[in-house]
Amino acid sequence: MIVLDEEVVVDRGPAEVFDHLIDLSRYPQWHPAIESARWTTDRQASAGAPLRLVVRVPPRRVDVDGEIVRAQRPELLEVRSTSGPIRGHITCELVSERRGRRTRLAFHVELQPTGLLRFVERVMADRLRAEMPATLAQLRARLEAGIPVGPPSPSGKR
């Protein structure tokens, strides 16, 4: 089993960050392995809500179905895979800092390759450990660039 624990601090409030994370359409913008991500039902952001990812797992692309295990806005998002060549469980805790102006995201990732991928588990683990800091830096950059700071001015601009 591959286990990863990483953190990133974002200069945005937890509710804004949670709302960004629950928007699956944004995942390909910051996660290099995800080609597409979407909800497969109108019931989104609640326990049991199904989702589908298309993920690059060299040397191929694979479909991964998953579901929300827990979604407690703005402090917790937990997702697990329900099909695909890698069984996964990902937890993201969002902790408010600086009176709600910053958020620490703590990711706990457990991945269990199945089938032939079991034979390259160590290579996958090394690659994921090497890539995760850059992936989280990309997430931070997207969050900080994509979410305006502060309330709108009377003119409607932030």
In a domain, 154, yes or no: no
In a domain, 158, yes or no: no
In a domain, 151, yes or no: no
- Residue 96: which residues within 8 A CB-CB, separation 6 or more? 13, 14, 74, 75, 102, 103
The DSSP annotation for the chain comes to -EEEEEEEEESS-HHHHHHHHT-GGGHHHH-TTEEEEEESSS--SSTT-EEEEEEEETTEEEEEEEEEEEEETTTEEEEEESSSSEEEEEEEEEEEETTTTEEEEEEEEEEEE-GGGGGGHHHHHHHHHHHHHHHHHHHHHHHHHHS--SPPPTTS--
The 10s digit of each residue's pLDDT in 85-114 is 889 999 999 999 988 789 999 999 999 988
In a domain, 119, yes or no: yes
Q: Is the pTM of this model over 0.75?
A: yes
The 10s digit of each residue's pLDDT in 54-82 is 988 777 888 999 999 999 999 999 999 99
Instruction: Look at residue 124 in the predicted model and tell me its pLDDT.
Output: 85
Supply the CATH number for residue 49's domain.
3.30.530.20
In a domain, 155, yes or no: no
In a domain, 87, yes or no: yes
Phi, psi of 114 (to 5 degrees): -120, 175
The 10s digit of each residue's pLDDT in 105-139 is 999 999 998 888 888 889 889 988 999 999 999 99
In a domain, 59, yes or no: yes
Number of structural domains in the chain: 1
Print the domain residue range for 111: 2-146
Instruction: Look at residue 158 in the predicted model and tell me its pLDDT.
Output: 43
Supply 18's token pair. 């949670």
